[in-house]
């Protein structure tokens, strides 16, 4: 009986345990099933951010400047940014951090559009919390970033960067910058600074290489600002082209004792001559005739004192002081580019306004936005900000800029490789202001040249800046000017860039036609051309070759223009100012040298001496007492 009771209790205990287990199982699986299924799911799965593919950056021809590449990490593909062209346009493109966010340049400034919209997905893990490859479950798919198409041309960009590198090294400068744009649309075709860097590499500690001086540098422009003074004066009829200003023997003392100097005594000058020889004195006088209120208005209308709103980070607005804060000399010194701060892009856009007939355009580096399939979402149209001068004024100033290159401070820009292309432009040499010493430091200069190509009907406007050149020369005409010339020569000889009808790659030219025929008689020119196997044809009437150019549309190598040369004998130059004497001698094809300053007192050879090509002529100048 006792045995039966013991068995009964054991059975009851077993049934009780079973009932408890059954109830608990029912509770977990049925009553709280959703809760525990969620816990199990959370332990075997996790939700992660699904990054959107970053949009590409391309140049105007479709060359990819910024792309994405996938690397496999722990069985999963991770995307990183790749810059296929290396250092090309690196200050413009910028960089992307490890988190996929833009750090500099366009990558930073347009990060939101390039980054896209992220999604999320679920990953499956095993009991040890290891990710199981291939078991991902879709959540919300990301939206890819937009592709950015720039106005830059990578071929032109390469030409500019190479010329800058050589220029900075040649003149042992701190840095160099250059920009080329289409003056009619405001599109930036190339923009570079040197030294540069490769965005595929770590760029920390390379602040100078990261900086885009074309927008972030604020500097005193100096003589390149004289086109604003000339434009305002002519447009307001404050000065006419024939009005002559006293050169003050190269040194003008103001009533308050301040002195304005020219590099040397150029004699009396009209506005064109003052631009040609870059006279600070005459442009100070011209600014006086314009007046403070009017001059300020023109400077403001040309875009100085405010940002241009180009789609790049770090743009400086410069400094244009309000008229009420001007000192007694501000108006005069602003006439030749002092007491005003500008960024280089502002200066280029002011030259572009002169180039296109008087319209200030908004600069742009964006051509269009596209979706990931290549469909155009938005195109950037040219934006005219305002008309700043008349077409007639613009044409007059363009002719001044042409004279600067032909006869003045920009002679180093003349290209023997492109004798048929007329360059125009303005040189500038701005001394940096030492805030500690409170004076200009002549040992630290920014040399500049801004050119129009061709001068009469510009297709390109190009600015070159050389910061603190120390070797060979320091002035803009002898540093920035030659770099500009090299850039244009390479562009004109490039098969994809050279504007027709000057496309050197599409025109077969005779390599033997490199002789200078000017000054020879027609008979002598024919004999020389035959001996050098150079095909020539003649235009005009006369007995002597007075000009030559390449024959782009005919079968000859050269076209020789013949005419009558007036200076067959040495003229009497005594009593003339140097510029007038040189003007008389410029067509004589003789080598002219001079010493002293003032007016011609002696000349060799004597008046009426027969002149021949290559003869040496020497002038002695003395100041009149």
Number of domains in the chain: 5
Q: Do 322 and 445 lie in a common domain?
A: yes
pLDDT score for 536: 85
Q: Do 87 and 160 lie in a common domain?
A: no
Q: Does residue 516 belong to any structural domain of this protein?
A: no
Q: Residue 204 above 80 pLDDT? A: no
Q: Residue 178 above 80 pLDDT? A: yes
Instruction: Look up the pTM and report it.
Output: 0.72
Contact indicator for 121, 47 with CB cutoff of 8 Å: yes
The pair of three-digit structure tokens given for residue 282, joined into one six-digit string: 């005459």
Average pLDDT of span 96-107: 86
Boundary residue ending a domain (47, 64, 79): 47
Q: Which residue, among 69, 70, 55, 89, has the nearest Cα to 198 in the 3D structure? A: 89
The range of the structural domain enclosing residue 106 comes to 48-149
Give the total residue count for the chain.
Answer: 625
Quote helix, strand, coil % in the chain, to nearest 5.
30, 25, 40
Q: Do 109 and 191 lie in a common domain?
A: no
Dihedral of alpha carbons 532, 535, 538, 539, sign = negative
Looking at per-residue pLDDT, the higher value among 508 and 362 belongs to 362
Lookup result for tokens 């140049």: 59
Q: Do 41 and 71 lie in a common domain?
A: no
What is the torsion angle, in degrees rounded to the nearest 10, for the CA atoms of residue 115, residue 116, residue 117 and residue 120?
Answer: -70
Q: Residue 114 above 50 pLDDT? A: yes
pLDDT in tens, 526-569: 888 888 888 888 887 777 776 666 665 555 677 787 876 555 67
pLDDT score for 439: 64
Distance in angstroms (rounded) separating the CA atoms of residues 562 and 32: 107
Q: Does residue 509 belong to any structural domain of this protein?
A: no
Q: Do 313 and 414 lie in a common domain?
A: yes
Other beta carbons less than 10 A from residue 307's beta carbon: 14
Contact indicator for 349, 450 with CB cutoff of 8 Å: no
pLDDT score for 361: 96
Least confident of 20-24, 115-119, 215-219, 402-406: 20-24
Distance in angstroms (rounded) separating the CA atoms of residues 551 and 548: 9
Q: Does residue 203 belong to any structural domain of this protein?
A: no
Q: Residue 153 above 80 pLDDT? A: yes
- Work out the burial of residue 235: count CB atoms within 10 Å of its CB; fewer than 13 is exposed, 13-18 middle, 19 or more buried: buried
Distance in angstroms (rounded) separating the CA atoms of residues 564 and 572: 20
Q: Does residue 12 belong to any structural domain of this protein?
A: yes
Q: Do 477 and 616 lie in a common domain?
A: no
In sequence order, what are the residues at sequence separation of 6 or more whose Cβ sits closer than 8 angstroms to the Cβ of residue 381? none
Q: Do 612 and 473 lie in a common domain?
A: no
Q: Do 472 and 592 lie in a common domain?
A: no
H helices of 322-390, in order, are 330-334, 344-355
Tell me the pLDDT of the chain averaged across its residues. 83
pLDDT in tens, 353-367: 999 999 999 999 999
Q: Which residues are catalytic?
A: 223
């Amino acid at each position: 009986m006792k045995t039966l009771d013991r068995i009964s209790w054991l059975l009851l205990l077993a049934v009780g345990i079973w009932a408890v287990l059954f109830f608990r199982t029912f509770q977990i699986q049925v009553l709280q099933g959703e809760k525990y299924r969620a816990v199990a799911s959370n332990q075997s799965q996790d939700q992660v951010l699904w990054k959107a593919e970053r949009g590409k950056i391309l140049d105007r021809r479709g060359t990819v400047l910024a792309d994405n590449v996938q690397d496999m990490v722990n069985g999963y593909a991770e995307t990183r940014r790749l810059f296929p062209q290396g250092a090309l346009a690196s200050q413009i493109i910028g960089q992307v951090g490890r988190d996929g966010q833009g750090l500099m340049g366009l990558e930073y400034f347009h990060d939101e559009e390039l980054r896209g919209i992220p999604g999320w997905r679920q990953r499956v893990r095993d009991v040890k919390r290891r990710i199981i490859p291939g078991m991902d479950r879709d959540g919300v798919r990301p939206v890819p970033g937009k592709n950015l198409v720039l106005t830059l041309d990578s071929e032109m960009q390469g030409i500019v960067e190479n010329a800058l590198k050589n220029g900075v090294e040649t003149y042992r400068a701190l840095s160099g910058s250059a920009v080329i744009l289409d003056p009619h649309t405001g599109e930036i075709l190339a923009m570079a600074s040197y030294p540069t860097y490769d965005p595929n590499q770590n760029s920390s500690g390379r602040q100078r290489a990261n900086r885009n001086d074309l927008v972030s540098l604020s500097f005193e422009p100096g003589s390149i600002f004289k086109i604003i003074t000339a434009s305002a004066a002519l447009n307001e009829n404050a000065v006419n082209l024939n009005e002559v200003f006293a050169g003050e023997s190269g040194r003008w003392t103001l009533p308050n004792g301040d002195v304005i100097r020219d590099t040397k005594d150029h004699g009396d000058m009209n506005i064109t001559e003052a631009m040609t020889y870059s006279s600070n004195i005459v442009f100070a006088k011209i600014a006086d005739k314009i007046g403070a209120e009017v001059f300020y208005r023109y400077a403001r209308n040309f875009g100085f004192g405010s940002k241009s709103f180009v789609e790049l980070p770090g743009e400086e607005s410069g400094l244009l002081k309000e008229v009420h804060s001007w000192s007694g000399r501000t108006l005069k010194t602003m006439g030749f580019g002092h007491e005003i701060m500008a960024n280089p892009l502002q200066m280029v856009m002011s030259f572009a306004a002169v180039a296109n007939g008087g319209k200030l355009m908004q600069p742009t580096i964006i051509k269009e936005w596209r979706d990931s399939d290549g469909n155009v979402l938005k195109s950037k149209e040219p934006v005219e900000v305002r008309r700043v001068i008349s077409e007639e004024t613009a044409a007059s100033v363009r002719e001044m800029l042409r004279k600067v290159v032909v006869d003045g401070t920009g002679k180093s820009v003349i290209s023997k490789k492109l004798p048929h292309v007329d360059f125009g432009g303005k040189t500038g040499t701005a001394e940096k202001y030492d805030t500690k010493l409170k004076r200009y430091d002549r040992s630290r200069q920014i040399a500049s040249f801004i050119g129009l190509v061709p001068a009469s009907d510009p297709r390109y406007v190009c600015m070159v800046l050389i910061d603190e050149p120390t070797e060979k020369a320091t002035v803009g005409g002898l540093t920035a000017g030659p770099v500009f010339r090299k850039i244009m020569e390479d562009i004109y000889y490039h098969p994809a860039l050279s504007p027709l009808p000057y496309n050197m790659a599409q025109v077969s030219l005779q390599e033997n036609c490199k002789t200078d025929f000017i000054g020879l008689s027609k008979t002598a020119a024919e004999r020389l051309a035959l001996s050098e196997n150079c095909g020539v044809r003649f235009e005009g009437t006369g007995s002597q070759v007075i000009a030559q150019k390449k024959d782009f549309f005919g079968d000859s190598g050269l076209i020789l223009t013949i005419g009558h040369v007036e200076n067959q004998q040495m003229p009497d130059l005594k009593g003339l100012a140097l510029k007038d004497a040189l003007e008389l001698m410029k067509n004589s094809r003789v080598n002219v040298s001079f010493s002293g300053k003032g007016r011609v007192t002696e000349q060799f050879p004597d008046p009426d001496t027969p002149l021949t090509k290559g003869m040496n002529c020497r002038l002695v100048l003395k100041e009149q007492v």
